[in-house]
Amino acid sequence: MSSCNQDDKSCRGSSMINTLAVLAALLVVAGLVWAMKHYTTPPDLTAERAAERAKNLTELRSAEKQALETYGWVDQSKGVVRLSVERAMELTVADWQNPPQARADLMERVEKATFVPPPPPAKPSEFE
């Protein structure tokens, strides 16, 4: 091994080459880290989900508004209709002027709306 003096130009040149080689290696590693991070990071889903949720919320609110403000059938076979909130409140106030009759009417409507027919009779066994 040869020892280098500080005045020796060949020693300064080799130390500069070593320093440049280390810097180049660090830059290569930094580039590889950036490439790995760039190519392995999944796409951001929050923006897409936020837009989808906003669209769903708008559709839901419009459907709710329509249900609250318009008339329509809930179950046409049972004669159950949907009224606007204002009209339902008017009818309720008018009906409850006579509480016993209003309660009886209410119970009758509940029975009609929630009536479930009995199941058909079971087939008798062929051995009976």
83-105 per-position pLDDT tens digit? 888 898 999 999 999 999 999 99
- Is the residue at 18 inside a domain? yes
Task: Say if residues 84 and 70 touch (Cβ distance below 8 Å).
Answer: yes
Please report the pLDDT score of residue 85 as a whole number: 87
- Is the residue at 46 inside a domain? no
Placement of tokens 């280390």 in the chain: 22
* DSSP secondary structure letter of residue 97: T
- Is the residue at 64 inside a domain? no
Tokens of residue 110, six digits: 């509940």
* DSSP E strand boundaries for the chain: 72-75, 80-82
Domain membership of residue 33 as a residue range: 9-40
* DSSP secondary structure letter of residue 98: S
Placement of tokens 């080799």 in the chain: 14
Domain count, the chain: 2
Placement of tokens 């837009």 in the chain: 51
pLDDT in tens, 21-39: 999 999 999 999 999 999 8
Tokens of residue 104, six digits: 């009886």
Beta-strand relationship, 80-82 and 72-75: antiparallel
- Is the residue at 51 inside a domain? no
- Is the residue at 53 inside a domain? no
- Is the residue at 32 inside a domain? yes
Task: Say if residues 72 and 82 touch (Cβ distance below 8 Å).
Answer: yes
Answer whether residue 3 shows pLDDT above 70: no
- Is the residue at 45 inside a domain? no
Q: CA-CA distance, 69 to 88, in Å (whole number)?
A: 11
- Is the residue at 84 inside a domain? yes
pTM for the full predicted model: 0.43
